[in-house]
Amino acid sequence: MTDHPDRVLPLQGATNFRDLGGYRGHGGRSVRWRRLFRSDHLGGLTTRDKSVLAELGLARALDFRGRAESAAAPYELPGVTQHSLAIEPTVVQSLQRLMAAGEPLSVPIVSRLMTDLYRSLVNDQAHRFAELFEHLLQAETPVVFHCTAGKDRTGFAAALVLLALGVPRGVVMQDYLLTNAVYEEPPPGRHGIPAEVMAVLWRVQQGFLDAALQAVEADHGGLGRYLHRRLGLSEAALEALASKYLVEPEHHWPGVAPGAAVASGEAALSSHAR
């Protein structure tokens, strides 16, 4: 429906700023609209962009960027408290080391590095995702979490949140892949990395998220055990999360007919995915 808020917010300075609302989760309940957002970095927001975010009532920003990334593109948003959940980047640094050693770079090499990154997010960065859930459980106002491009660290974080809320894996994957349709990559830099390699870096692939979810299964015995044992989420905490971020279908976005929120959200997702 045209009067439904878009899943992808039309920001000039953050093209991957997206609402996670509308997806069906536990018990047929839907993820609340305008409460959970995922994004690329917010260091390039225009004055108009900041006004849009202010109208959302955004009050908490969770930043997965490493220290150098945050320093290179800082931001200030009135009324928004920033929290660093730093996960230092590794893939570009690995490619630069290979180049310095005279090793040729190729798509298979960068694809392997990306797959390794996703596995490492599961096993080496669990404390950061535990912090993410702590913030989500504490928040009473809209929250955004982001990294630099809003696709890998943020993509896995969004997958964990949606899966914890009972959203089916296939829908979670569709949301993850939506980055390829909406994210506008920055102009080429002077790093010497071949264009075909950079094309892999700036996009997402189903195999990357699959690798992370396979690690959750193989290394931790499944999502439930991972959430409980590695992220410290008790059954009570998961119920509290669902209570906070899921609503019955009749609870809809103001101005939208009951049931339209989910249908419109799925239509928006499909239109962007094409």
Q: So what's the pLDDT on residue 271? A: 44
Quick check: 180 and 41 in contact, CB under 8 A?
A: no
Both tokens of 15, joined, read: 């093209």
Contact 37, 143 (CB under 8 A): yes
pLDDT at 5: 58
Topology (CATH) of 18-273 = Protein-Tyrosine Phosphatase; Chain A (3.90.190)
Nearest Cα neighbor of 77 from 55, 96, 98 is: 55
- Specify the 3-state DSSP secondary structure of 238: helix
d(CA 73, CA 189): 15
* 146, β-bridge pairs: 39, 63
Average model confidence (pLDDT) for the chain?
89
Dist CA 204 CA 177 (whole Å): 6
What local confidence, expressed as pLDDT, does residue 122 receive?
Answer: 98
Contact 65, 85 (CB under 8 A): no
What confidence score (pLDDT) does residue 249 get?
Answer: 77
Say if residues 154 and 160 touch (Cβ distance below 8 Å). no
Question: CB neighbours (10 Å) of residue 243?
Answer: 10
- β-pair type (36-39, 143-146): parallel
Distance CA(269)–CA(167), nearest Å, equals 14
- Nearest Cα residue to 147 out of 155, 135, 136, 139: 155
Domain boundaries, the chain: 18-273
Tens of pLDDT along the chain (274 residues) come to 223 457 999 999 999 999 999 999 999 999 999 999 999 999 999 999 999 999 999 999 999 999 999 999 999 999 999 999 999 998 888 888 888 888 888 999 999 999 999 999 999 999 999 999 999 999 999 999 999 999 999 999 999 999 999 999 999 999 999 999 999 988 776 567 888 988 899 999 999 999 999 999 999 999 999 999 999 999 999 999 999 999 997 555 543 333 433 333 444 444 444 3
> How distant is the alpha carbon of residue 253 from its chain centre?
22
For 126-164, what is each residue's pLDDT tens digit? 999 999 999 999 999 999 999 999 999 999 999 999 999
Q: Coil, helix or strand for 40? A: coil
